[in-house]
Amino acid sequence: MELTTVWFALIAGLWIGYFCLEGFDFGVGMLLPVLARDDRERRVMINTIGPVWDGNEVWLLVAGGATFAAFPEWYATLFSGFYLPLLLILVALIVRGLSFEYRHKRDEAEWKARWDLAIIFGSIVPSLLWGVAFANIVAGVPIDADKEFTGNLLTLLNPFGLLGGIVMLTLFATHGAMFIALKTDGEIRHRARALAVRVGAVAAVLAVVFLVWTQARTGSLASAVAFAAAALLLLGGLVAAQAGREGWAFAGTFLTIGLAVAGLFLALFPDVMPSTTDAAFSLTTTNAASTAYTLKVMTWVAVFFTPIVLGYQAWTYWVFRKRISVHHIPTAKLAEVSR
């Protein structure tokens, strides 16, 4: 197997990891005003992702860095052509990170409410825009002979791209509700499980439409298998949630997102960014790649460091595996006394 194909698969794996892990982070954030009834329940929801959200974002950083090193032409065209959506995603992620750090600095309800809005904003915007971006990458965008994007923001906001954004938004909301049901106890757990089933049913319908549309436009046999498996696993996850099996339900949405993203990359291959202007202008794993020497060095670095990173992140999830509930959260008055 050529190293260009290996690195295409590795980058796909990094994006799969990012969406599967950061996906429930985003879901928890966007459901903050829906599931929580008071500040203690909001704190419970935030605490479910508190130990892991920043580690989950490492997948995004590594995916971007790997794309820059392995496929510099892809990186250049993508980040210049999608500059505004990616900038909005970056701003949203920064605001979201600040929210987690500053929300607890003061006890005033108004202060916390403002940071809660920032968490919600920082969760919805990336979820929606990542879906729009990946839908357009797979479907193709106008690229000229100089490998430059010739469209604009409105070019990306086409029906297919917008559907991709809505699908990712609803899938992440379902994934986040499943995670809350898995990680909490008490009333919030039951509300999250019920909401996961309702939102998941909507997500399933939208996802089937989007994946069938994707398959019809640019799919392959491999992508069809991945899409079909993703649909079945989502249905299985919803059935498990209905039966109160939160672990299996969360595994279902986790694998659904992973297989759906894998299917998108399988539908994309061997292109990395198709051109709708002329197929000859498309960026592929061959014409967008770095030199063979660069890829070889990167491969050895990946072989050495990847197990370390995976091991550390798995250990983090194991340490913080227990459920939490409102009785673990002191009231504001008790918290004041404890300080």
- The three-state (H, E, C) secondary structure of 45-78, written as one string: HHHHHCCCHHHHCHHHHHHHHHHHHHCHHHHHHH
Can you give the CATH number for the domain in which 295 is found?
Answer: 1.20.1630
Q: What is the average pLDDT across 235-255?
A: 94
The stretch 123-149 carries a mean pLDDT of 93
Identity of the amino acid at 69: A
Q: What is the count of structural domains for the chain?
A: 1
Q: What is the 3-state secondary structure (H, E, C) of 126-176?
A: HHHHHHHHHHHHHHCECECCCCCECCCHHHHCCHHHHHHHHHHHHHHHHHH
Distance of CA 7 to the CA centre of its chain: 20
Higher pLDDT, 330 or 110: 110
Which one, of 167, 184, 277, 179, lies nearest residue 227 by Cα?
A: 167
Decide if 266 is inside a domain.
yes
Question: How far is residue 111 from each of residues 38, 46, 329, 330, measured CA to CA in Å?
Answer: 14, 16, 19, 18
Domain membership flag for residue 258:
yes
Q: What is the amino acid identity at position 190?
A: H
> By the 8 A CB rule, do 134 and 266 touch?
no
Does the residue 2 lie in any domain?
no
Reported as a pLDDT band with limits 50, 70 and 90, residue 335 is very low
Residue 336: per-residue pLDDT: 34
Measured CA to CA, the distance from residue 174 to residue 197 in angstroms comes to: 8
Q: Considering the chain, what is the average pLDDT of its residues?
A: 91
Separation between Cα atoms, residue 32 and residue 316, nearest integer Å: 23
Rounded mean pLDDT, 188-208: 94
| Whole-Å CA distances, 129 to 31, 46, 83, 113, 184 | 18, 23, 12, 24, 29
> Is 1 among the domain residues?
no
The pLDDT value recorded for residue 332 is 56
Q: Beta strands 271-273 and 283-284: pairing type?
A: antiparallel
Tokens of 121: 């904003």
Q: Which comes out higher in pLDDT, residue 321 or 28? A: 28
Does the residue 8 lie in any domain?
no
Q: Report the run of H or E that residue 328 belongs to, with start and end.
A: none
Q: What is the pLDDT of residue 158?
A: 93
Arithmetic mean of pLDDT, 53-69: 90
Other beta carbons within 10 angstroms of residue 232's beta carbon come to 14
> Does 280 map to a domain?
yes
Question: Is the backbone of residue 159 left (phi > 0), alpha (psi -120 to 50) or beta?
Answer: alpha
The answer on pLDDT for 1 being more than 80 is: no
Domain that holds residue 138: 13-142+150-334
Q: How confident is the model at residue 338 (pLDDT cuts 50, 70, 90)?
A: very low
**Average pLDDT value for residue range 216-232:** 93
**Residue 4 domain-assigned?**
no
**Element containing residue 3 per DSSP (H, E):** helix 3-30
Contact 200, 174 (CB under 8 A): yes
**pLDDT tens for residues 255-283?**
999 999 999 999 999 999 999 999 999 99
The pLDDT score that the predictor gives to residue 337 is: 28
Q: Residue 273's beta-bridge partner residues?
A: 283
- Secondary structure in 3-state letters for 227-252: HHHHHHHHHHHHHHHHCCCHHHHHHH
Structure tokens at 154: 């409105």
> Is it the case that residue 153 has pLDDT exceeding 90?
no
For 295-334, write each residue's pLDDT tens digit: 999 999 889 888 888 898 889 888 888 888 887 777 654 3
The arithmetic mean of pLDDT across residues 103-130, rounded, is 92
> For residue 319, is it within any domain?
yes
